[in-house]
Amino acid sequence: MIMLVKFHNRGKGVGAGPVDYLLGKDRNRELASVLRGDPEQTRELIDSLHFAKKYTSGVLTFEESDLPESKKQELMNELERHLLAGLDANQYDCLWVEHRDKGRLELNFVIPNVELTTSKRLQPYYDRVDRVRNDAFQTYMNGKHGLSDPNDPSKTRSMSYSRDLPANRKEIAEHITTALINLIATGVVKDRDDIVKSLNSNGFNVVRNTKKSLSIRIPGDSKNTRLSGDIYEQSFRASPSFSEENRASIERYRKNYTQRVSKARKLYESEIDKKQKYNRERYRPAELRSIKTVNNALETVQERIKKVTKQNNVDLQLGNSIRCINGNRITSSGLEISNNQINDRLNQYERDSKTIDAHDSDFREVEQKAKPSIRGTSEQISRALNTIGETFERYGNAAIKLDKLHREQRIESKPSFRPRF
């Protein structure tokens, strides 16, 4: 099983173009079904845009005629992450339509080129910038899901074919190529002239030849089938070592396949990280401010709070990494506050500021009025204390005099003592 990613060179027309192609004008195209999205919504979104390129479309194509539903969903999720890295499902529209009318499975996608929350132009894929990531994605996905490598020499050296080639014709072309390689290995076929003779003799009439390919008419088929690859080129010359060289080349390629998948995964994840950062910065929802803008608003609020609370000796600190306004956390991961919320909070802080200023003014007014009374009372208390001190001093002096007088009286009243002999 091989998965190939192909982008269509379209996107400038009306929305009916891609949607009608995928589902039919009457939405009854045979073996076509919607896997994800709303066709009419996608069409209307495309028609509402005024960009030069209004949509991006492409297809995941497989060798198989069908896959389990879970595998389809997984691969669709992988492609959306690849093209719309960093965006949530509500930020874009993507229509997925399954086709199985060519004998193989195709998962077609159409993405209107608009980011839904900002109405900004969205560019899911730009080849000059995104080709490296896309090539890594294809290699990584084929390796991750156990799919065949489309770049394997066994598929590219001896034969290549159009991606639109129906499965039955592709199978016949592969059998023809295998048979011719066996003839080359046995020495029966030595150059392209021998290949043409062999094809004609087996009923596959060569109807056209170019420098790089041959076109044949398969019996019972009304259309030509083009055969291209090393052995179908005009310059092809078989050598005794042709088969051995071809086998050795395939073995060398497959030996390093695991390493190539690992390298592709690392490259893909690195490119995805860049795309995520770009998209998350560019497509922030319109009603939310960027972290930088919010932080500027917070700085204004912080300065206002400091100014209001300075006179009341209130120590308010806002952390550097996490800042809060009424319980809302602003972090580097990107939780944003709406313009209205910021304005509401600024207005609230302004009202609080005025209230505090008014209270401060009232306090100062009361203080000024109270100061004379306080000074008068203080003076009265001081005079009273002085009076009490003087009174205690007078009473103390009087007590001392009284005590002295009492002692003198006791001495005078005592009888004198005279011995009797």
Which two three-digit tokens encode residue 150?
Answer: 């489309």
Q: List % helix, strand, coil for the chain (3-state, nearest 5).
A: 55, 15, 35
Tally Cβ neighbours within 10 Å of residue 378.
Answer: 10
Who's near 123: CB < 8 A, 6+ residues apart?
56, 113
Q: Terminal CA-to-CA distance of the chain, rounded, Å? A: 157
Who's near 93: CB < 8 A, 6+ residues apart?
37, 41, 42, 45, 111, 112, 114, 116
Q: Which of 21, 92, 268, 395 is catalytic?
A: 21
Who's near 135: CB < 8 A, 6+ residues apart?
264
Helix axis angle for 242-255 and 257-282, nearest 10°, is 50
Who's near 215: CB < 8 A, 6+ residues apart?
206, 207, 208, 209, 224, 225, 226, 227
Active site residue 21: yes
How far, in Å, CA of 140 to CA of 83, rounded? 15
Is the dihedral angle over the CA atoms 205, 208, 213, 217 positive or is it negative? negative
In terms of residues, how long is the chain?
A: 421
E strand residue ranges, 123-262: 205-209, 213-217, 224-228
Rounded to 5 degrees, what angle do the CA atoms 39, 40, 43 make? Answer: 90
Catalytic positions: 21
